[in-house]
Chain A
């Protein structure tokens, strides 16, 4: 039987408050609690709560025939505990059904995989602990890296940490003539399976669903079922990966996105030979068809599917470089607040806000940014980082004196 794999990314960053030069050295609280709380509450009402309820209904209705997969970033889980215990409870209920898989990722939704192996490993372990704590001892077997960033090297690191499989983008320039609808394996460590996003079908739901100028608007379950039936029979797995906030936040309820999801399983069961599986189920029963070569990191962002949304311009590279210069010192400090801020400052969103690709994907960047311009984002981040650096150095100094 062929299968569909739904994986939803659930993430909220800790956004910085407007932090001025004059605050450096004095104000050590960097986070915009009000904004973070209100975003969390808004998205909870529009997306997390109604969509979780809908998914729970579907799972119960089909008694496990329908299943989904989540990855919850650590910064999301922290904010959920602080601002939305009701959302946490609904996720716990979903996981308790046994038909929902959780993936591991870096706790801080960071780009550490590109910079520091040890920091990457720390972040993965922290995430594991957090999931264990919140979800009744649950231990993920499959890993997904921030923004689906993947390369042969990163895959090897993931394999080394004992994961069975990972997820990434089915980027055109990587696949060439190949199809994303098979299971592949890592180029260095073949025991690590790689699942590739079918970006065509995923983005039909995530990006184009409510777009009235799209030739295929409106997207109905009949239409979607027809498309997946058109996929050659030999191709076994369709990976539909998207942000969870697609439902109700990026695509408003008025577009009919909830109704689409409510009726999709029924249409799939009635008119196709597809079922639903989670990544660990898939890698358990489907044999990989070959190795996938990814010498240069890819991601699921923008038209280029590369790293340029977060790194590459001078603002981003400077901020990113200066942040990781602190790693060695931070590792020597055992202070919960320093550790927390270090983690939250690594979140990829901070670098995303500094992106200057105005003319291609700039509009989607501005939509997600709390800043007026990438320059404002950079200044604010660097001010905060300057204060953080001072704190780190003071701690180190104090430790040296104490010794």
Chain B
């Protein structure tokens, strides 16, 4: 079987978890001798050669193709109605909307006859890139007929997947790694939601990274449950990481590591810290990462008068991330909404016991962890205190957690995916 796969990023050039998951999946597919044509907006040339990579920036679109124009027209609507573009000044915005309101047939020539250099970033031209990426998808689907099925990862590549399906008539799998509800809570971005919804409904089958995400897809996007399969993420390497990095403070360390944003629930970590410190002042809490709620968290920590026991490291990268895991005695992920959440598995690899919110996909695959509701700061504080003081439970978690990790392999995920493909193809014919 040969899969035409549309992604948005691929290691080593990644800015989110999506690229890592795609990497794992492609690797797992290779293990089962499945061929993958992997398309990304921009290739950097240093990707590991494990798929037939296609750089969307190299594709020139054939403007004589009538069907492309109708795809473009439909997409123009999405781009125009988008308020995603975050860094637009008033003047630019004026231009942007003027351009959008007028019929764009006059610029069709230039759009269709040139190659487009994708940035591959999540920048201000994001919507335009998503639309152009769709055209590229259509062109590739026309040029190459050597694939059996189309697979698109998250909303950014859904329009490309839909276009490819329209041109080729081949079945489409929409893979949901995160939904707009995870990213923005209840204040969803309508254009993004629309694309997500269109992708899921145009698809022949939908894959979700957790049962939690499947529920969202069914409830919020109106996709019938039988059309959605759960495909949990896995870990690339389940081996235990023995760090030589030593802790330099006598106190035990409790860590939060991630973006400091609404989705990750940092405020619950702060409140739980206060409760733990009231009972045992000999603990240090660390919030590693950066994000729009950082300053608010600093304010709160100062207000609670726990700043001598609660530290902020800023954004960590490279070895510092490993060091942070290595010196942590407890790792907490209090996410409000986490489709999957790979970081607790990293903590387990460092032999660090974890507390995860029930509102995370990873809670479905990790048994040897303490699971609490993200809002239940009392339970979070209790669990933290227990893992710090009752050696029995943390010892058990360390031993069993690492065993569990070994079962979370990408080749298992890929095997499940192949079954999904087979079922879809069987139903189609």
Contact = CB atoms under 8 A, between A and B. Distances in A.
Nearest to A373: B295
Contact of B311 (A314, A373, A383, A389): A383
Contact of A375 (B250, B294, B308, B313): B294
Interface stretch (A22-30, A51-59, A191-199): A22-30
Contacts of B295: 373, 375
Nearest to B303: A314
Contact of B307 (A22, A25, A378, A390): A378
A319 B299 CA distance: 12
Given A22-B320, A26-B248, A315 B302 contact: yes
Nearest to B297: A375
Contacts of B311: 21, 24, 379, 382-383, 386
B307 A318 contact: yes
Nearest to A23: B248
A315 B249 CA distance: 23
B308 A322 contact: yes
A21 B298 contact: no
B323 interface: yes
Nearest to B253: A21
Interface string A24-60: 1110000000000000000000000000000000000
30 contacts: A21-B286, A21-B311, A21-B312, A21-B313, A22-B313, A25-B249, A25-B250, A314-B302, A314-B303, A315-B299, A317-B302, A318-B302, A318-B305, A318-B307, A319-B302, A321-B305, A322-B305, A322-B308, A375-B295, A375-B298, A378-B302, A378-B307, A379-B298, A382-B307, A382-B308, A382-B311, A383-B311, A386-B284, A386-B308, A390-B250
A375 B301 CA distance: 11
Bin chain B's interface residue count: 20 to 34
Contacts of A321: 305
Interface string B97-131: 00000000000000000000000000000000000
Nearest to B288: A21
Interface in A334-377: 373, 375
A385 B311 CA distance: 11
Most A Cβ at <10 Å: residue of B305, B307, B311, B323: B307
Contacts of A319: 302, 307
B308 A22 contact: no
B319 to A, nearest CB: 10
Contacts, number: 60
B248 A24 contact: yes
A26 B249 CA distance: 8
Contacts of A21: 286, 311-313
A385 B298 contact: no
List 5 A-B pairs, minimum CB-CB distance, nearest first: A25-B248, A314-B302, A318-B302, A25-B249, A26-B248
Given A314-B302, A378-B302, A385-B308, 13 more contacts: A21-B286, A25-B248, A25-B250, A315-B298, A315-B299, A317-B302, A318-B302, A318-B305, A375-B295, A375-B298, A382-B307, A382-B308, A382-B311
Contacts of B301: 318
B178 to A, nearest CB: 28
Nearest to B311: A21
Give the interface SS of chain A, mostly helix, strand, loop or mixed. helix
A20 interface: yes
Contacts of A373: 295
Interface in B365-421: none
A333 to B, nearest CB: 18
B383 to A, nearest CB: 23
A389 B250 CA distance: 12
Given A21-B313, A322-B307, A378 B249 contact: no
A239 B312 CA distance: 45
Contacts of B320: 22
B124 to A, nearest CB: 24
A132 to B, nearest CB: 36
Most A Cβ at <10 Å: residue of B295, B302, B303: B302
B298 A378 contact: yes
A390 B308 CA distance: 11
A165 B250 CA distance: 49
A377 to B, nearest CB: 10
Interface string B257-301: 000000000000000000000000000101000000011001101
Nearest to B320: A22
Contact of B299 (A314, A383, A385, A389): A314
A24 B249 contact: yes
Contact of B323 (A22, A322, A375, A379): A22
Contacts of A315: 298-299, 302, 307
Nearest to B309: A386
Contacts of B249: 24-25, 386, 390
Interface string B234-245: 000000000000
Nearest to A356: B299
B209 to A, nearest CB: 32
A22 B249 CA distance: 9
A318 to B, nearest CB: 4
A379 B294 CA distance: 11
Interface in A141-157: none
Contacts of B308: 322, 382, 385-386, 389
Contacts of B313: 20-22
Contacts of A375: 294-295, 298
Interface string B214-253: 0000000000000000000000000000000001111000
Contacts of B250: 25, 390
A302 B250 CA distance: 42
B339 to A, nearest CB: 29
A373 B295 CA distance: 10
